[in-house]
Chains A and B, each alone.
Chain A
Amino acid sequence: MTAFLKFLGFDFAPIQTIEAMRISLSWGWAGLVLISLFLLPLFVYIYKAEGKPLSPVLKGVLLGLRLAFVLAILSLLAGLKLSITGWIPQKNKIAVLFDSSRSMGIKEEGATRIDRVRDALVNADFLRRLEKHTGIAPALFSFSGSAAPLSREDISSFSIIPDGNQTNLTKVISEIGLNLGEGNLLGIILFTDGAYNQGDNPLQALSSFKTPLYFLGAGKTGKTKDLAIALERPPTLGFLNSRIRILGELKAFQVATDSIQIEVKKDGKRVENVKVAFPPDQKRASFAINVPCDTEGTFAYGLSIPRIEGELTYENNDVGFLMKVVKERLKILALVNSPNWEQSFIKAAVKSDPNAHYNSWTKITDDRWIKSEDSVLQKPVSNPDFKSDIEDTDVLILAGVPEKFLSSNAEAILKRIEIGKLGVFILPASKGYSELGYIGSTLARLFPVDLFGEAWSGISCNLVLPVRDNPYGFLRLLDDPIENQDFFRTLPKFEGLFTYPKVKAGAEVLLSTSLEKPGGQAPGFLHQRIGQGNVVMLLGGPLWPIGFKLVPTDKTIKPFTAFILNTMKWLANRKEDAQVTLELPSSRGFVGQPLTLRVWVTDNKRQAVDSAQVTANITSKEGEPVSLSFIGTSERGCYESTFIPPRRGLFDVNIAVSFQGQAMGEAKGQILVEFPTVEFDDPEVRTDLMSKLASFSHGAYLPVEKTGDLLSSINPTPGQKQESKTLEVRDSGIVLLFLLLIPLLEWVIRRIKGFS
């Protein structure tokens, strides 16, 4: 059959062995039958109408030829086709990956892990033997955070340098499988220590990976000695005469100690020593240090722990951060619709900070408002003017005031938020905001929810801190993240919650609640960004019992005060009073890790400026300066660029902005760059992980010293792949020729017999 089809001119490539063949029609069989039912009798009738005297045999032959021709024509018209299923030989591939992350530079028993890989490759002549065993030239890659191709020469000269700052095993293996084709791969061979520190857990993410993984583990377990210190998101801003709490963690591998001393330095000068106790049999210990902000300015703080001989690295024995101490008072303005306990307690919490200044306007009746200036009550007035207070405040607390009282200041409020000069804390109104005139107003933008559809749910509920790690320090009331989550769950309940059908795009849930709604838990505390400013909205209440009720049970913590003050300080979002504002994601950076710098540009009318030319000149005491150009983002007046710190040290960032050739302004910032030490966080060879991954994928794990033995584990049998192909019969010239032959044959017979 195959030979016949080939004779007809059909090409099966790349199928070499046909397993199944099926005939079908584009019109479907029903179409052919229906048209045949009409045409065949017609042809028979025409044929009979000729009325020629024929012998029965000849009559049958001629009729057969005529019908065969008509049927063939109809079949071709109906799109006769052949569907062929068969096997094609697989072009096998094999990938060999070399870990080039910094942990491969760890030295054990006189040799680094990467040295062990090199020795194993040379001693076992591995790549040549692998090629001979499988008949395939392996694809070579180095990897850390992602994979990069290597040439055979790179391996011959072994120019792999362990300088990758992070290891993402899951991403690397998945990418190789995707790019080379998982089905094409005989296997992936990895020379690694298995120490991953980025991305998903490979044991979960690669559990269904089909390609065999062969691990050649480099390194010796239990030989690495190291002391390390790390900080947990150190703050960048402090207020004069306050104290900032710095959280961190100490790690000790193969070091027997019951305590470690931390030396705290400010601008290089020692300020204090802190002794942190190390629990027995523990490798890690958390610590907290209170840093006093007693002088205005920007300061580089450094925390150092002792260096011991033979340590894995000294890079993680020092850590630092930059902190700017400002003297301006935190100015808060509350606009309150009616006297309530919420205000009374918020004010008390704010007053506990000597840097905070609290003003409020409370509506007693429609024509009687009382102002409290820095907590001193003033004489009542009938028509308050909020304008000057709004222009002077960092944070606006909106507590149920109808829109009509704010409409004249709406533009000013939104503008100040957009330029990052004002944050807003919206407290629930006693009867909701939908009836206070905000729907469809300019100030509707403030709300992170669509007010249309607002409803009160009188079911008491708890606040729930989402499990995901959040970057907001004001939600961290307890140092331990697990305890912090439990703590939120056990706070006094809200009496009820306002629910909304829709949370606006871009808004995020900071705290949800135990109230179940279709689609999940109802939000309790929402955040949205407007330009450079932030708005948060509390959807339920009351909040005050959180602080008040907890007082008698635990006098050591004031969670309500901490929550209110932290939130206010975050909302204040202090920016320099300039047309050009530099926004750094953090005052800390790491060598080789990109930092996104954002610059906000406004004109002298505080309007966002598009199409400005923004450049940065980044300098440090050592090395060449770096120049950057910024490009506009989707947010008006916002420009972005990426800086990859080339070395450790303090970098000065100088931003220059011009518009239509005219200089608009400058902004300055500083970044303290350190070595990323995550590669040394857990310096042990992850033998268990590699063995399990090898087992899941039907591969193998061997120590790198036994590289030569790996080949026996690799099955070199070439694979096959099933493929299908469809052939249109009318595409064949031979079939067309046959089609022409039928009427020709009829004509010849008729001529011979003298009928035509």
Chain B
Amino acid sequence: MRGMIRHIPSVHEKTALLIINCFFFGLLCTLRKKIGSVIFAQGLCLAILLLIPISGSAEWGTVQIPRIQYGGGGDWYTDPTSIPNLLKAASEKLNIPTRPENIAIKISDADLFNYPMIYLTGHGNVKFEDYEVNRLLTYLDNGGFLWVDDCYGIDKSIRREMRKLYPDKELTLLPLDHPIYHMVYELPKGIPKIHEHDGKPPESYGIFNKGRMVVLYTHETDIGCGLEDVGVHKEDSPEIREQAMKMALNILVFVMAQ
């Protein structure tokens, strides 16, 4: 979760900058006739530049969500703009510090434990090696969270892999009164339908460990596609895209708050 770290000025520094700026601005106005309009304009630009650090802020603990580069042949790289758009919206609407980047990692990567939430999507087969199952289990048992979004066609393989991960736990259907539908936005009808594939209703499933949801599986909805840039999926209306974003923000906030 390394973010761009900028220095935020202290109150002393801000006050000093403000006083200097006021003095400088006053001086410019007084001498406007003597120095001419070009120099006055240059001075004005400088005054504005001096004000920039006053609005600076600390950026630490920024949220990033990498996608999992899994084996088995599925297109793990699909919907590349979905997560950056989600993170951008989280920053703009909820003031959560984020880095809206499309990052891909393997379960075996050392970086896995830098990200408390990971994202998995695609259309084809998903397969975890044994060592990946063990590592993912450790990750989830100790505070990590996996969001699996079925873009269409991974249902069979992901259910198989989840059984490898938690043989004694079932994917549990989340009821409509589950907090995940009410965190930021009220979604009384549950998870929205973004793309139609098999005519089945959209569903959310969870795997719970010691009372905490560790895996969320969104099926027959295609939230990820709904988060993509405008124009990527031309059939998506702004309302549909908004519904996708609302659900995704609910998911993000639920994972952080649960």
Give residues in A with beta carbon < 8 Å to B: 338-345, 348, 351, 360, 362, 364-365, 368, 370, 372, 375, 377-380, 430-432, 434, 439, 452-459, 495-496, 498, 501, 541-542, 544-545, 547-549, 551-552, 555
Contact = CB atoms under 8 A, between A and B. Distances in A.
Given A341-B61, A344-B257, A365-B93, 8 more contacts: A339-B94, A351-B212, A364-B184, A368-B184, A453-B12, A455-B7, A458-B6, A501-B10
A575 to B, nearest CB: 31
Minimum-distance CB pairs A-B, first 7: A458-B5, A339-B256, A456-B58, A377-B179, A455-B10, A551-B142, A456-B8
Contacts of A380: 182-183
B172 interface: no
A496 B9 contact: no
16 contacts: A339-B256, A340-B256, A344-B257, A364-B183, A372-B258, A380-B183, A430-B97, A431-B57, A434-B10, A458-B6, A495-B61, A496-B60, A501-B12, A547-B142, A551-B113, A551-B139
A544 B143 contact: yes
B144 to A, nearest CB: 8
Interface string B99-126: 0000000000000011010000000000
A375 B258 CA distance: 7
Nearest to A339: B256
Nearest to A542: B61
A619 B255 CA distance: 56
Interface in B1-36: 1-3, 5-13
Interface of B: 1-3, 5-13, 57-61, 63, 93-97, 113-114, 116, 135, 138-139, 142-144, 179, 182-184, 210-212, 252-258
B60 A495 contact: yes
Contacts of B254: 377
Contacts of B1: 341, 495, 542, 545
A362 B94 contact: no
A370 B253 CA distance: 10
Contacts of B210: 351
Nearest to A552: B138
Contacts of A541: 60-61
B11 A545 contact: no
B253 A375 contact: no
A148 B61 CA distance: 61
A351 to B, nearest CB: 7
A555 B135 CA distance: 12
Contacts of B12: 452-453, 501
Contact of A458 (B7, B113, B135, B143): B7
Contacts of A547: 142-143
A459 B205 CA distance: 41
A338 B7 contact: no
Give the dominant DSSP class at B's interface.
loop
A375 B142 CA distance: 16
Given A340-B256, A368-B184, A549 B60 contact: no
Nearest to B13: A455
Contacts of B258: 344, 372, 375, 377
B120 to A, nearest CB: 19
A340 B10 contact: no
Nearest to A378: B179
Nearest to B95: A338
Pick the most buried of B57, B58, B144: most chain A CB atoms within 10 A of its CB.
B58
Given A340-B96, A344-B258, A542-B60, A457 B142 contact: no
B113 A434 contact: no
A454 B11 contact: yes
A548 B61 contact: no
A461 B142 CA distance: 24
B204 to A, nearest CB: 15
A135 B236 CA distance: 112
A399 to B, nearest CB: 11
A496 B113 contact: no
A338 B257 CA distance: 9
B231 to A, nearest CB: 29
B253 A364 contact: yes
A368 B249 CA distance: 14
B150 to A, nearest CB: 25
Contact of A495 (B3, B96, B184): B3
Contact of B11 (A342, A434, A552): A434
B60 A370 contact: no
Nearest to B110: A552
B63 A495 contact: no
Nearest to A348: B143
A322 B237 CA distance: 70
Contacts of B182: 379-380
B8 A431 contact: yes
Contact of A551 (B58, B138, B184, B252): B138
A280 to B, nearest CB: 38
Given A370-B183, A552-B135, A344 B5 contact: no
Contacts of A377: 179, 183, 254, 257-258
A544 B116 contact: yes
A368 B94 CA distance: 11
Contact of B212 (A348, A430, A459, A551): A348
A430 B253 contact: no
Contact of B58 (A345, A430, A501): A430
A432 B8 contact: yes
A455 B143 contact: no
B58 A432 contact: yes
Nearest to B179: A377
Contacts of A339: 94, 96, 252-253, 256-257
Contacts of A430: 58, 60-61, 97
A430 B3 CA distance: 13
Contacts of A458: 5-7, 58-60
A380 B187 CA distance: 13
A343 B184 contact: no
Contacts of A364: 94, 183-184, 253
A545 B114 contact: yes
Nearest to A543: B61
Contact of A338 (B3, B94, B143, B211): B94
Contacts of B116: 341, 344-345, 544, 548
A181 B94 CA distance: 74
Contacts of A498: 58
B184 A365 contact: yes
A615 to B, nearest CB: 50
B97 A495 contact: no
A457 B7 contact: yes
Contacts of A501: 10, 12
A551 B142 CA distance: 7
Contacts of B139: 551-552
B93 to A, nearest CB: 8
A696 to B, nearest CB: 52
Contacts of A551: 113, 138-139, 142-143
Contacts of A457: 7
A501 B255 CA distance: 37
B143 A345 contact: yes
A521 B61 CA distance: 22
A455 B6 CA distance: 11
A364 B59 CA distance: 19
B81 to A, nearest CB: 23
A439 B10 CA distance: 13
Contacts of A552: 113, 135, 138-139
Contacts of B10: 434, 453-455, 501
Contacts of A338: 94-96
Given A338-B94, A341-B61, A430-B60, A548 B8 contact: no
Nearest to A429: B58
A552 B108 CA distance: 11
A345 B1 CA distance: 15
A460 B30 CA distance: 45
Contact of A342 (B57, B61, B96): B61
Given A379-B182, A495-B2, A549 B8 contact: no
